[in-house]
Amino acid sequence: NFNGAGLSGYNEVMLMPGQTPASVFGGTYSSADMPISGQQALVNFVKAGGGLVTGEELTDRSGSPFHAFQTLSTALPAMPSTINTGNVGLTFSSLTNDPILNKGLPSTFSFSGNTNFGITETYFLPKPGATPLFTTNQWTSSFGGYGTAYGAVAWNYGQGRVISLSTMSNNTELADPNYAQLLRNAANWATDSAGTPPVESLPLPPPTTAPEPATLIVVGLGIVGFLGSRRFRG
């Protein structure tokens, strides 16, 4: 239902579309889409220097056959995809040594994925110009044989930054302290709130025009909360 209003005063958005409520859209996975005005407002927000962090379902719904979020998908660093897995045991391995993204994290960590409509993770490949940040173990020969895919990809878009995660970022994932730290790091990286340079392949964008200090707005059907508390509702 987001129509673009209310972004003033924030410099970061976390967008995690969740399971569609039956009372709103009949409870079908593919029925909900964000109004074009809301999508365009988010694109403009990032271009002007805002940060955006997204989860699995946004990339999944932007692919065939759903073709939702088509306006916003231009700002996403991951290619549209509807290849999914329902395996709950996930392992992420870092591809960078970024001081923000890797803060407090081991190089490899495992966690349990949350399922939504039987899905825990979507097959992520970076768009040209985007950088993969973590590999994921879900796409080996035993899981469909699609080859290497990624748990997080990111890029600079306009003056802002976008980082997309291949998982739900729901209560189940956030129960793992390493995944919760990853989400905090992603949010910090999207606004460079630590003030340190990112990996060389992701040069710093021009100075942000977003307001300071860093503030975060969470937009989504299935998630409400604050990064520091790890109290999310899926």
Question: What does the pLDDT look like over 86-122, one tens digit per residue?
Answer: 667 888 899 988 889 999 999 999 887 766 666 666 7
Residue 205's Cβ-count burial label (10 Å; 0-12, 13-18, 19+) is middle
Percent of residues, the chain, with pLDDT higher than 70 = 64
Residue 222 and residue 151: Cα distance in Å, rounded?
Answer: 20
| pLDDT of residue 24 exceeding 50 | no
Residue 120 and residue 18: Cα distance in Å, rounded?
Answer: 12
| pLDDT of residue 83 exceeding 80 | no
Task: Give the pLDDT of residue 193.
Answer: 55
> Is the pTM for the entire model greater than 0.75?
yes
Cα R_g (the chain), whole angstroms: 16
* Amino acid (1-letter code) at residue 197: P
State how far the alpha carbon of 74 is from the alpha carbons of 24, 51, 66, 108, 127, in Å.
Answer: 27, 15, 16, 30, 10
- Identify any residues that bridge with 111 across adjacent strands, giving them in sequence order: 90
